[in-house]
Structure 1
Amino acid sequence: MPPRFATLPNRRAIIDRRILADRLAIVEAGDPIALRQAASAILKDALDAGRAEVERRFAEHPTRGLEAAAAQGFLVDQLLRLLWDFTLRRLYRNPNPTAAERMTLIAVGGYGRGEMAPHSDVDLGFLTPTRRTPWCEQVIETMLYALWDMGLKVGHSSRSLDEMVKMAKSDVTVRTALLEARYVWGDTALYDEAARRFKAEVQTDTRGFVAQKLAERDVRHKKMGDSRYVVEPNVKEGKGGLRDLHTLFWIGKDAYGVQRAAELVEKGVLTRQEYRRFNRAENFLWAVRCHLHLITGRAEERLTFDVQREIAERMRYADRPGKSAVERFMQFYFLQAKIVGDLTGVFLAHLDEALAGRGRRFGLPAIRRSPRKLQGFVLDRGRLALPNDLFLRDDPVRLIELFALADAHGLEVHPQAMRLAARDAKLVDDYRDDPRANALFLDVLTSPREPEQVLRWMNEAGVMGRFVPDFGRVVAQMQFDMYHHYTVDEHTIRAVGLLAQIENGRLVEDHPLATVLFEQIVSRRALYVAVLLHDIAKGRGGDHSVLGAEVAERLCPRFGLTPAETETVAWLVRWHLLASATAFKRDLSDFKTILDFAAIVASPQRLMMLLVLTVVDIRAVGPGTWNGWKRQLLTDLYQSAEEVLRLGHKQRGRGERVTAKQERLHAALGWAERDFARLVQRLPEAYWVAEPIDVLERNARMMAAAGETQLSIDAQPDPERGATLVSIYAADHPGIFYRIAGAIHAAGGNIIDARIHTTRDGMALDNFLVQDPLGRPFDDEGQLARLKTTIADALANRARLTERLQGKPLPRPRADAFSIEPAVLIDNKASNRFTVIEVNARDRPALLFDLANALFQSKVTIHSAHVATYGERAVDTFYVTDLLGDKIDSTSRLKAVERRLIEAAAGSDAAAQAA
């Protein structure tokens, strides 16, 4: 019996094999099939009862993951033994089997380890001495049918010993599965022979097996996001998940012949403390996986937002000030994933030494040159190592110096040095104010080489969180939303890495403006420190920008920054969301928006630094967050604000920019002077400011082609903006905006920005940027044709939009995991001409349609709309006036508008009537 089964309390309460064997012995039926089905029914009842008992125990002790996994394995073991005996005694009796009719049943894969989640597959192997006889095939077939009758998902193979050896030699997956093989029932001598041959004939190339498993692991990590800090991790396959622990065990079993992870301590691979961490991480991950299977009712391995909260409740996490129960649960999850990564490094270091190989840890860069001065540190086969185990304790500043040297010389840190750094990290507590330590840390942070890699090593060793305790508070801290893909510490380190890439010119295609501006920034180290600290105060229960600025004022002098640099860093942290909030939620053609933004920035240097900080902050959120549209909005904001800061609070530059745009458009169109002058006369100044030159040209050609026609619709994919530009030229009338918005949603589109213009002769000229539900441009001809038709039908009142939209399925039901209370903010000071209304709500299909319809019902005119989404949260901003074109000043009327918008944001049908 596997050791984990032996420690299970009161095993017979899960399943009592003797009682079941007696019941099976008296089963009667008319033919073998009916007899098998009768036995399967008894065993199915036992399986259900056993599972219920395991689930009951797990509910009482929801953190005992390994016990729950072992209990599932024990239950299946007993059922298989009963089924085997019943098949051989009642269905296919064979009192005198030939040598070829000997057979044994083995458990392989996870079941072989004796670990099973509630909905795991049962992986079985049937072994025979030689080629299978008809009797063996009958037994195997009958057992499989019985297991399927019981509702079990079975993975199986049936092989002779020669076939087993041949397959294991040629296929690393088969070799891995058989490495964990465990005797279940049948011929014990045959099992012993199989184990002997596997060891003698298959386990002959440990180096090759290790290389294959590590390559397999790297491919798996890449597929899963290549970070152990993705906020919806895969518990089984993700980086830092169970499969990584299994990989260590497989390699340990192959290389050291261990049967249990605990034996790695005896082999000197792990210390007792490290094994306890291994066991604790494994137990926690198994608990999470078992809860995940039970909640979803299937073999689900991804810890998605909709189950995170429920698992946190089941595992009895509670809210704390500034941090919800689910965030505390996920922070502990990521800390365990980090432990898995740490143990992987330690284990592979030992293996590397044992095999005398020259493998690199986590695919790190090779040594660039042999440094001559290592300040007492040594090189061990090209890796930065320690001369003895007490080296860091003798001078704890070396805990920082270790990583500074690694960065300066392009060296990999030896895993044993990482191990000792983790052991001694707490010693740096007394040296946080040491000028030498802070200078070394600043050198790493602002390195012109690869600061991201070295900072990640510091973080993995626990040194960074100790040296900067404020950073330690956000290590492994997730934010429970769909916008952020990584934990706060991982997001921050990635942002620093992106900053270095921009400085080195490696992202010039994606970020041309930021690359140019970086060369003009006077204090690059202030910018690097600001990136490090911009999210440092998250999870403290207040505005993290304000609290973070206070942290910056305290930390920067310690790091060695001047008072001027400290002031700059604190300002950048305080306002690090200002540029994105202005660019994505406000109308950049409204000069008051630019003036207000420039008044806060007040300095060209701050403007440049803020732009670069904003870029890396957005880009580091996760894949797909940055796009060409955001780049254009931030570029427009920068250029407008830079002009104000250069020229002062005058619109002189604005008029020059409009004239320059008109001259460029005239040249691009090649129209006669009189025709172009007529176009200019028809369009208001705000239109020329708002639209970029390529959109101006598309609109002009569309208007010219339309002639006297009252409706023209153009839709062209725009890869640069990552969206499709949809332009509508139509007779203006009340409600036109919400009808267009509804039509676009009905056609499957997601509006990311809308700019609404009215010509001086009463025509509407509206431009929408539209994406599909996956954030890509609409580019299929059929899609574009359907989009145009749907808009035309809506404007001609040929379709009841509300009914069509209600019939569409939700493309993003994951947002349902989040509870966001709708909020409406009304600002009459943000614009000189318009009342600005900002609506915060949970994102859902047709939200913009519902809000625009609510404004139409409120008898207000929409002049521009700006759509920003942050995962599950949508922020829709409208610039509106009353029907006479004036701001809305009446308090009672504003209250009525607010009430109607909140109803619409919450999905109330009362706010929308059939269009």
Structure 2
Amino acid sequence: MRPIVLRSREVLREGREKAFQQHRSGSPGTQVSTLLADLYDDVVLDIFNEAIREYATDDRLSGLCLVAHGGFGRRDLAPYSDADLMLLTTPKSESLATIISGVLTRDLGDSGIQPGLSIRTAPEACSMSWADPIIYSSLAESRLLAGSLQLYKKYFDAFRHGAMQRSKSIISDIIAARREERTKWGETNYLLRPNVKRSRGSLRDIQLIRWIGFARYGETDLDRLLKLGALPEEDYRKVRQAYRFMLRLRNELHFREGKSQDVLDRPTQMEIADQWGYTGTDGVLPVEQFMQDYFDQTRNVRYAASYFSEDAQSRPLIHRIFERVFSRSIDDKIRMGPTHIWVREQALESFAANLPDVLMLMSLANQHCRRIAHPTWQAIRLAMQDRTPTPPDAETIDAFLSLLSRPGQLAPLLSRLHELRIIEQLIPEFKRMRGLLQFNAYHKYTVDAHSLLAIEAATNMQDSPDGMGRRYRRIDDKRLLHLALLIHDIGKGYEEDHCIVGARIARDTAARLMLDPTTAETLEWLVLKHLAVNVTAFRHDLSDPEIVLAFAAEVGSIRRLELLVVHSVADLIAVGPGVATDWKLNLIEDLYKRTRRYFDSGDLPGSPNDPEIESTRGRVQSELNAAKAPAQAFELLEQVPLSLLSRCEPDDLASEIMVIVNQPDRDTKTITMCRFDASIKALRYTVIRREDKHSIGTFARATGALSTSGLTILRAQIEMVGDFAWDHFWVIDPEYPDGDVPEHRTAEVRKQLCHLLDDPTAPLPPYRSRWKPNTSVEPKKVKVLPKKVVFDNDTVDRYTILSFFAYDEVGLLYRIASALAEKRLVLSFAKIDTHLDQVADVFYVTEADGSKLTDTYRQTEIRAALLDAVS
């Protein structure tokens, strides 16, 4: 290996070790990055000088210079960053540039620096930058390393002049490119595993400010942009603070991995929180505290970059003229045009500093669906940053409640109030939610972002034609719903149950906002019970009249039912993409309809006096008569329990009965059928098995057969009809997500079911791992929530409801079912509620003699068996 390479390797090793020691001592990220930039400078220059040594007398050398750009040009390198380099050349020197480029690329790579090296003339570099925003953004951070100063100065002066001449199009292009990159890497506040370089609010958005500054002012340096008045002082301060934090974090990631690494995954979050001395608080883990700091920094960058970008993108003159000509006065301070609302310039300074006026303006913008003009909002933003927080007066409260009373653009306007920390002046407890990450894979957003997205989900129902949209529009006092959504998770981050804490805070909030007693009571109830719909719909048997009756008693009125259901759906949508599945929304709809029917008529769905039960039975009889069914079919129908009649479609039940009575081989114990349930967009496998009594192990074998076939089980319902165990399994086939499953696939699964049920000694086939959800598998140390088994003997009369909470694993449901079977428990109903990485499985069980599980020792024995099945 060449001596220059060996020497450079050693210099790099020693330099990175020195930087690591400085990093570990707690030095700011900017200092460590500057040290690394100096290290890269030394190595690159040493290799460059070696490469040009034999050409020292070559005239072509005067037509070359070596330029650092991108992160290397900015001097904010991480330990294993690439080195972006450009050999700037004149046409006469291109042949020499090609030779030197090859040597540089080889020796830098061998030394341990990954180079990104290009050869360009000055006109080529400029023209490529005007055509490609990625090239422009990299070359805007150019820095001369070696070679002809005259050539570099000529190039960079032309580049700066050309960028400023084309500033409008360049700014538009780089903002669009950054938007596309953010879409790819996600919103930082919404990610469990943010990219500290590319996610929104990360280092890339600080760079965006620099790139826009260069196009508009010819400067990338933040200090210079501050002095030019382009960057507000408060934004400058927060961006600089975030810059130091994120450089330190990026350095930490690189040092830990020993290579380039910008993704902050969950195990690393835990390790860094411990390494950096986070201790946590009551109800907040150290890792959540660390991520709260991270999100606070990225939020500040996000807002500063957003306003800097918007300020640089002034609307075309024709648009501004059109807006002014067709505007009208709202009062002596405010005008409103076709798309925007703004404050007159002469009144802006005093208006922007007055919180009631600002809230009133936002309420008008919301009412008329207008955007607040950027100059007006920028003035408000600067004034509010300097405003001393004070308790809200009556005028401020009225303006805030007025804002909450209409859908319009409520969610983005509340986001702006949150940005200005105004919401926490009105509701002080909201401050604790800021950037609070729930350390699980179920929630995709921080608590504050989730709450604002829940409001957005609700206001989007305003124009929805479905039942939920009609219910939202029927709510007269929408400020109550919107306020409840804003604070429904405000109790998170405490040791006590967040619903109970939240209800107390809701009571205090109602008093602070001077709500009337009835509204205050409803607000407190909504926050306390905001999970009641999900718990009932996702974890209980909705065909059981006792469940509907208990839920109706908890709700108390149709008004509260509609408020709670709309709240629950908005909350579910805001959890994260893909969480509000058709399956879950249909379960909520089913619960709503059953409860509403009870309020309207007094009839409990599924009870003996339910008129729909007899209607269903009559329709099944008609189907059987039309099919000329034998007497055995009608005898079997008489034995069908009310629960099965209340949840089956008459034609489905009739066809299942006909299959049984027409079964040619009486020795075959298991009959299977499969059909697509359009109401919930899931496959329903029906398993009917002739037995003297309910087989305790049947459910475990059936779940094993379905799971090893690659199916995701959503719900199972088990009935005894005469001599038959009559089970239904609702499943998703991940191989066919649209539900269009070919017949050969269902036939394969049905064959597997029959085989494993008819031959109890047959081993289960291996699990088909290719159907595992497309998520990265994380180590157990990030699974911080406890496993839990809960017994409920109060909700229903006939069964013990056993709830099991744990992190999901391949084959978990089968192991749970097997443990229940080994303990000789009879299973009558199961509902599987999977939250991405966690499950909340509910089973209705009895002892073999039909009694409930009331004995404490017996409960302890079963709990131990279930927890052992997980481990």
Same fold (TM > 0.5): yes
The whole-number CA distance in structure 1 between the counterparts of 2:622 and 2:224 is 79
Distance in 2 between residues matched to 1:138 and 1:786, nearest whole Å: 64
Deviation at 1:513, TM superposition (A): 3.0
2:507 corresponds to 1:562: no
CA distance in structure 2 between the partners assigned to 1:700 and 1:185 by the alignment: 87
- Structure 1 window deviating more from structure 2 (191-200 vs 139-148): it is 191-200
Verify the 8 A CA contact 2:597 2:603 in the aligned structure 1: no
**Partners of 1:433 and 1:296 in 2: CA distance:** 49
Change (3 A) 1:51 1:271: same
CA contact 1:292–1:311 (8 Å) conserved in 2: no
Corresponding residue number in structure 1 for 2:763: 800
2:364 to 405, 408, 411: 405
How many corresponding residue pairs? 857
Matched, 1:330 2:291: yes
Aligned twin of 2:10: 45
Match of 2:468 among 514, 524, 531: 514
**Aligned mates of 2:327, 2:832 — CA distance in 1:** 54
Measure the CA separation in 1 of the matches of 2:311 and 2:318.
Answer: 12
Moved more, 768-777 or 594-603: 768-777
- Is structure 2 residue 66 aligned with structure 1 residue 105? yes
Cα shift readout 1:288-330 (whole Å, capped 9, x = no counterpart): 2222333345433333323222222233222112322222222
**Superposed counterparts of 1:344-423, under 5 Å:** 344-348=305-309, 350-352=311-313, 370-374=327-331, 376-377=333-334, 382-385=340-343, 387=346, 390-392=349-351, 395-423=354-382
* CA–CA separation in structure 2 for the residues paired with 1:440 and 1:887: 55
2:710, 2:769 within 8 Å by CA — same for their partners in 1? Answer: no
Q: Which residue of 1 aligns with 2:867?
A: 902
**What's the secondary structure of 2:433's corresponding residue?**
coil
Amino acid at match of 1:830: T
Tell me which residue corresponds to 1:9.
none
When residues 823 and 234 of structure 1 are mapped into structure 2, their CA distance, relative to the original with a 3 A threshold, is: same
Matches within 5 A, 1:122-161: 122-130=83-91, 133-161=94-122
1:861 touches 1:883 (CA, 8 Å); kept in 2? yes
User: Match of 1:501?
Assistant: 460
Name the residue aligned to 1:6: none
Q: Which amino acid aligns with 2:149?
A: T
Is 1:441 matched with 2:441? no
- The match for 1:253 among 214, 217, 220 is 214
Flag structure 2 segments of 5+ consecutive residues without an equivalent: none
Q: Which moved more, 1:218-227 or 1:151-160?
A: 218-227
Tell me by how many angstroms 1:390 deviates.
4.0
Residue equivalent to 2:183: 222
The alignment status of 1:54 with 2:13, answered yes or no, reads: no
1:173-197 C-alpha deviation (Å, 9 max, x unpaired): 2222211121222333332232233
Partner SS state of residue 813, structure 1: coil
Alignment partners' CA distance in 2, 1:543 and 1:152: 52
Residues 693 and 377 (structure 1 numbering): CA distance in 2 closer, same or farther, change over 3 Å? farther
Q: Is the 8 A contact 1:101 1:133 kept in 2?
A: no
Letter in 2 for 1:531: L
Indicate yes or no: 2:583 matched with 1:620: no
TM-fit CA distance, 1:483: 1.2
Q: Distance in 1 between matches of 2:474 and 2:165?
A: 60
Offset, 1:264: 0.4
Residue type of the alignment partner of 2:614: T
Q: Distance in 1 between matches of 2:614 and 2:223?
A: 77
Q: Which of 590, 593, 600 is matched with 1:636 structurally?
A: 590
C-alpha deviation, 1:858, in angstroms: 0.8
Contact between 1:865 and 1:879, CA under 8 Å: does it hold in 2? Answer: yes
The residue number in structure 1 matching 2:527 is 573
Identity of aligned residues (%): 25
Alignment of 1:283-294 (within 5 A): 283-294=244-255
Q: Does 1:212 align with 2:167?
A: no
Deviation (angstroms), 1:652: 5.3
Residue 151 of structure 1 deviates from its aligned partner by: 3.6
CA shift in 2, pair 1:76/1:818, >3 Å: same
Deviations 1:651-671 (A, max 9, x none): 657632223334555677884
Structure 1 counterpart of 2:493, one-letter code: G
**Which one of the candidate residues 875, 884, 887 is aligned to 2:849?**
884
- Gaps spanning 5+ residues in structure 1: where? 1-33, 361-365, 908-915
Shift of 1:854: 0.8
Are the counterparts in 2 of residues 103 and 128 from structure 1 also a CA contact under 8 Å?
yes
**2:727 is equivalent to residue 772 of structure 1:** no
Alignment correspondent of 1:823: 788
The worse-fitting range, judged by mean Cα deviation, of 453-462 and 367-376 is: 367-376
**Compared with structure 1, are the counterparts of its residues 383 and 231 closer, same or farther at alpha carbon in structure 2 (3 Å cutoff)?**
farther
SS at match of 1:302: coil
CA distance in structure 2 between the partners assigned to 1:272 and 1:691 by the alignment: 66
Between the aligned partners of 1:97 and 1:243, the Cα distance in structure 2 is 41
- 1:199, CA displacement in angstroms? 3.1
Cα offsets for 1:725-747 (capped at 9, x unmatched): 33333445331211222233323
1:463 pairs with 2:425? no
Q: Secondary structure at the match of 2:262?
A: coil
| Distance of 1:193 and 1:75 partners within structure 2 | 28
Tell me which residue corresponds to 1:687. 644
1:544, 1:787 → 2: CA distance?
43
Superposed counterparts of 1:403-802, under 5 Å: 403-425=362-384, 432-502=391-461, 504-506=462-464, 508=465, 512-648=466-602, 655-663=610-618, 671-672=626-627, 674=629, 677-678=634-635, 680-691=637-648, 696=653, 699=656, 708=665, 709-716=668-675, 721-731=680-690, 733-772=695-734, 779=741, 784=746, 787-788=749-750, 790-795=752-757, 796-797=759-760, 800-801=763-764
- How far is the alpha carbon of 1:287 from its aligned partner? 2.1
Residues 563 and 712 from structure 1, CA distance in 2 versus in 1: closer, same or farther, beyond 3 angstroms? Answer: same
Cα 1:853–1:527 change in 2 (3 A) is same
Aligned amino acid, residue 756 of structure 1:
I
Contact 1:834–1:887 (CA<8 Å) still a contact in 2?
yes
Deviations 1:241-275 (A, max 9, x none): 21111111001012111141110011111233331
Q: CA offsets per residue over residues 351-396 of structure 1, 9 Å max, x none? A: 346x976899xxxxx9997342245246799452463564147644
